[in-house]
Amino acid sequence: MSRSGTGRDWKKWGIIGGAIAGGAALIPLIPVIKKRAMRVTTILKKDHRIVGGLITTLQMSPRVNATLRKTFFDQIRNGLLIHAQAEEEVLYPVMRNYMFTGGESQVDVSYREHQEIKDLLNDLAWQDTLSDDFDMKLTELKTKVDHHVQEEENEMFRIISERMSTEEQEELGRRIHNRKADLKARQAA
């Protein structure tokens, strides 16, 4: 029996074995990873990154396929509306207790910014996705979303991490996750 190629076979199996061993070493960390994934800030940051990426993708898409651009826009619109409603119903009432500064609270500012974003989404929904007007409003939407995300992540999320226990953050995360799942199910029906 020829032994040609056995050196390569050993290398291949060594790599595969190493990958399996590496994966097995991560198994004890899965509960930690899952727990972190349920923190409210982790869930909302993920939403922010997804919507930001979709907006950038839509901005970069060529203005030749209206159906494709409409599909991207619908994903952005649905994602933002579900995200905003979950924040307004779950996060903001809790944050009101933590963020009052004397005048207009950051929570009130966030509600107002959500309304501005919703208004822009409604304007965009009726526009031709291949038009200059659509692209200008999309740029305005991106600017408003980016501004809102910066305020939320730099102010609200800092307060959450400073003043809420890990358990409270996880409970709030579960509530946000469940509300978003309910809204998605309702939207699909």
DSSP 30-78: HHHHHHHHTSHHHHHHHHHHHHHHHHHHHHHS-TT-HHHHHHHHHHHHH
Query: How many angstroms separate the CA atoms of 20 and 111, rounded?
Result: 48
Does an H or E element contain 156, and which? none
Contacts of 83 (CB under 8 A, 6+ apart): 44, 47, 51, 180
For the chain, give the percent of residues with pLDDT over 70: 78
Tell me yes or no: is domain 38-188 CATH 1.20.120.520. Answer: yes
Query: How many angstroms separate the CA atoms of 151 and 112, rounded?
Result: 13
CA–centroid distance for 24 within its chain: 29
Model confidence, pTM: 0.78
- Give the chain's mean pLDDT: 85
Query: How many angstroms separate the CA atoms of 148 and 11, rounded?
Result: 51
pLDDT digits (tens, 9 = 90+) for 148-189: 999 999 999 999 999 999 999 999 999 999 999 999 999 888
Query: How many angstroms separate the CA atoms of 102 and 96, rounded?
Result: 12
**How is the chain split into domains, by residue range?**
1-32, 38-188
Of the candidate ranges 23-27, 87-91, 118-122, 149-153, the one whose mean pLDDT is the lowest:
23-27
